[in-house]
Chain A
Amino acid sequence: MYSLHAITDSIQNWLSVRFSPLWVLIIESLIVIVLAIALFAVLGLVLVWLERKVAAHMQIRLGPNRLGPAGIFQTSADTLKLILKEGLTPDGADKLLFNFAPFIVMIVAMLALAPIAFANGFQIWDVNIGVLYVSAVSSLSVIGILIAGWASNNKYSLLGAMRSGAQIVSYELSAGLSILTIVVLTGSLQISDIVHAQQNGWWLFKGHIPVIIAFVIFLIAATAETNRAPFDLAEAESELTAGFHTEYSGMKFALFFLAEYINIFIVCAIGATLFLGGWMPFHIGDWTQFNHVMDYIPSSIWFFGKTFFLIFLIMWFRWTFPRLRVDQLLTLEWKYLLPISLFNLLLVTVIAIMNWHF
């Protein structure tokens, strides 16, 4: 298996030989900043483009195809346009908070990137409470939405923000519980531990039906937490025009837009890490030959492949289902997902203790 440790370590060594520790820190920070921003930009562009293409093909049409091959520059044009568009602040708004909200959303999205293992040995911070950290940070994102909705001084925004507040907050529970199933199986919160525990098979396959149930619940909760259809009540277009970001324009709106996609990426990355083994290649029992072939595929490709597969699933949901009503949304969580995932967690615990999993 390839590991990026060698590369990162050599950079580290090279730097520490040449510069004082402070400078090393600064240079490394700069590298991380540049990488993170680049990742953001590229992810935003690619995901939006992907979504449009997926939507188009499900809807028997072509989708963007006039700018560049298969329209891949379409989103670049959109981004550039959004940057160049006037960023309005309504007169009646709470101007400070109004302009502050996109930053919060962005910071939250960025912070959640920290523990994600993009490849073997490529992780910004392998925090020892990994998944707990991610759920903590993602619970912050509701704040940005609440602020945006309230500060806009617009009824649609406020309604949308309230809805999304209740929604995100509720679905955090079942997301957390399904994350816990994996924690129970692994016995660690650290992302790297979780990935390594799946060396001989992904949890999804090793863990019997309870893990599959947990996976499904996680997917549903992830969709809801990122405000995606069919849970996109916060920006329900046919009800609240544009929901909590009704009053945002230009770059500020683009930041919300981008954050939405980054959040999708993050939850899908977490999902891929927990259930599909992160950057671990696909291994089958003791087919050594096969496993070797799989090992030749770089770990980052595995990671991104899995993540994008989950992203595709979430997009698939979006372009198929009608939206739930707000009370049904909460009923779904409180009456179905939460009891099921609690029960499921106990089941997984039994499996884990009895060592019934593979």
Chain B
Amino acid sequence: MDTSAIIFYAISAFTLAMGLMAVTSSKIFRSAIWLLLSLVGIAALYFWMQVEFIAAIQIIVYVGGIVVLIIFSIFLTQQAGTKMPKPSLKRMIASALAALFGLFFSFNLINHYGFSNTGSPHFSVSVNDVGTQMLSTTEHGYILPFEVVSMLLLSAMVGCIVIAIKPPEEQPKKDKAELENEHIDIPETVQEYVDATISEPLITTEV
């Protein structure tokens, strides 16, 4: 165990703990914050793996974008302070068991596959290479996905706008000149009018 390993385990523990809290916390805002920290933890993991570029993207897109969006939508749709209803115990146990089982199963699979345990010490990703490969039109280039991404983003944007934009509210037209236009009918003689009003019971405002 060297420093690097310790750091890895610390980050992993942090990430997992935060992820767990994110799915179990009963306050939705907190849940979002734990998710955020978990994502930051994953970014730290990328840093640890020396893929700084991915780490930065992770932070920019996930933390700076998606989580902020989630937080906004929480403000918009939730009583953010109130507790969410707890799922039924049965369901919780069942889900936990299912998840644990899945975990155990997959991990068993991984263990049995027997990956080679040594990574290359010289693994590093330079943005330059990423860019070159992404834009190159050769066989290993990613230019097509790159352009498709723009289409994807375009359609996502259009979709968002179509779905989320509020239909223009029908505002009751404010009639500024209402008072002026109001037809004031003056009774034949004012006295008559006065008598008419007097005969009704006087409604008085509660003091």
A–B direct touch in complex (beta carbons closer than 8 A):
yes
Q: Which residues of A contact B (CB under 8 A)?
A: 22, 25, 94, 96-97, 127-129, 132-133, 135-137, 139-140, 142-143, 146-147, 150, 153, 158, 162, 165-166, 169, 172, 187-189
Q: Which residues of B contact A (CB under 8 A)?
A: 3, 27, 29-30, 33, 36, 40, 52-53, 55-57, 59-60, 63-65, 67-68, 71-72, 75, 80-81, 124, 126-128
Could you say which residues of chain B place their CB within 8 Å of the CB of A187? 128
**Partner of B126 from A22, A128, A133, A150 at Cβ < 8 Å:** A128
Q: State in angstroms the CA–CA spacing of A129 and B40 once bound together.
A: 17
Q: State in angstroms the CA–CA spacing of A255 and B195 once bound together.
A: 72
Q: Which residue of A lies closest to B75 (CB)?
A: A162
**Partner of A94 from B3, B30, B71, B72 at Cβ < 8 Å:** B30
Q: Is the CB of B68 within 8 A of A142?
A: yes
Could you say which residues of chain A place their CB within 8 Å of the CB of B72? 162, 165-166
Could you say which residues of chain B place their CB within 8 Å of the CB of A147? 33
Q: Is the CB of A150 within 8 A of B64?
A: no
Could you say which residues of chain B place their CB within 8 Å of the CB of A127? 52
Q: Is the CB of B75 within 8 A of A129?
A: no
Q: State in angstroms the CA–CA spacing of A97 and B27 once bound together.
A: 12
Could you say which residues of chain A place their CB within 8 Å of the CB of B59? 136-137, 139-140
* Other contacts beyond A128-B127, A150-B80: 17, CB < 8 A: A22-B3, A97-B33, A128-B126, A132-B60, A135-B56, A135-B60, A136-B55, A136-B59, A139-B63, A140-B63, A142-B68, A143-B67, A147-B33, A150-B29, A165-B71, A165-B72, A169-B68
Pick 6 A–B contacts, CB within 8 A, sort by A: A97-B33, A142-B64, A143-B67, A150-B29, A150-B71, A153-B81
Q: State in angstroms the CA–CA spacing of A136 and B127 once bound together.
A: 15
Could you say which residues of chain B place their CB within 8 Å of the CB of A153? 81
Could you say which residues of chain B place their CB within 8 Å of the CB of A172? 64
Could you say which residues of chain A place their CB within 8 Å of the CB of B53? 129, 132
Q: State in angstroms the CA–CA spacing of A129 and B71 once bound together.
A: 28
- The B contact surface, by secondary structure, is helix
Q: Which residue of B lies closest to A150 (CB)?
A: B29
Q: Is the CB of A136 within 8 A of B3?
A: no
Quick one: given A94-B30, A139-B63, A143-B36, are A132 and B68 in contact (CB under 8 Å)? no
Q: State in angstroms the CA–CA spacing of A122 and B27 once bound together.
A: 45
| Nearest CB in chain A: distance from B198 CB, A | 48
Q: Which residue of B lies closest to A100 (CB)?
A: B33
Could you say which residues of chain A place their CB within 8 Å of the CB of B29? 94, 97, 150
Could you say which residues of chain A place their CB within 8 Å of the CB of B52? 127-129, 133
Could you say which residues of chain A place their CB within 8 Å of the CB of B68? 142-143, 146, 165, 169
Q: State in angstroms the CA–CA spacing of A150 and B57 once bound together.
A: 26
Q: State in angstroms the CA–CA spacing of A189 and B60 once bound together.
A: 16
Q: Is the CB of A129 within 8 A of B127?
A: yes
Could you say which residues of chain B place their CB within 8 Å of the CB of A143? 33, 36, 63, 67-68
Q: Which residue of B lies closest to A139 (CB)?
A: B64
Q: State in angstroms the CA–CA spacing of A133 and B47 once bound together.
A: 11
| Nearest CB in chain A: distance from B186 CB, A | 47
Q: State in angstroms the CA–CA spacing of A201 and B65 once bound together.
A: 36
| Nearest CB in chain A: distance from B122 CB, A | 14
Could you say which residues of chain A place their CB within 8 Å of the CB of B60? 132, 135-136, 139
